[in-house]
Amino acid sequence: MPGFIQVLYYYFFSSQVHRSVVYGEQPRNRLDLYIPAGTTGLKPVVAFVTGGAWIIGYKGWGALLGRRLAERGILVACIDYRNFPQGTIGDMVEDVSRGISFVCNNIASYGGDPERIYLVGQSAGAHIAACTLVNQAISECGEDTSTWSVVQLKAYFGISGGYNLLNLVDHFHRRGLYRSVFLSIMEGEESLKKFSPEVVVKEVAVRSAVSLLPRIILFHGTADCSMPSAESEAFLDALQQRGARADLFLYEGKTHTDLFLQDPLRGGRDKMLEEIVAVIQNDDPGLSAQHLAVPVARRLVPEFMLRLAGRVSPF
């Protein structure tokens, strides 16, 4: 709570945060923008899809990441989407695709560079974003009529994601996301393959689509009990077998929420954030020189509280 209060204050009262920008006509078709302060010229952009077990996702969950990236001169768009039961996985993918389209076509008016857009997803958001990315690549191999293209994305970062639903049904059931509920979210057992990016990229028919994908970089903690790190390892293997540019960073002993929540709240060095920023900076040396002097983030929560939260967290 001490850390959340500070982040919430920033979220609701900072002039850098533009909340609930409308990107579509469906419920929850809104996104939050985190605008870097004191920078000139067009900024690189991160389109971020938050997690939440497909049920409790919310754009506000990206406030801490948005703040940290904005401090480094990177504009962040946190995309909200319909959750279950308001929508099922097909609706979520549709919403995220529409949000990405909005970012690609409108971000310049907010100071973002449409030539430097990166997609980031965390947990369920990593799964939804990966589905959206793969589906878009497949569409572009046919008669595509969408308003954005995968070539507009410089890279995709997947944080603690699950990419093969066939392997996760029983796992989630044991952890409390019961089979009947999960299958309802995923539009029935017959749709599990369709919404499993790892399975889809292995299909011979989509080989040409895989070649369109941007660089894919996956992050996962080895102590993740909610979404096993084997998910990212298997997805990496499937992508590399098809010739995609893909990398994986495993963090020893890190849980499902450590990378996205506890580590940023601890302050100090954030290895995953540094990896993301390094990729963006390598594409923009000017950004690197301008923001090398960003101060080390201060601790927001005492360590004993973080450890206690880790013990009681359902994730």
Catalytic residue IDs: 123, 224, 256
CB 179 within 8 A of CB 166: no
Greatest alpha-carbon pair distance for the chain in Å reads 55
Tell which residue, 73, 89, 1, 70, has the closest CA to residue 32. 70
Residue labelled with tokens 């660089």? 215
Residue 159 CA from chain centroid, whole number: 6
Q: For the residues of 247-313, what is the DSSP string, one character each?
A: EEEEETT--TTIIIIIHHHH-B--HHHHHHHHHHHHT-HHHHHHTTTPPPBPP-S-HHHHHHHHHH-
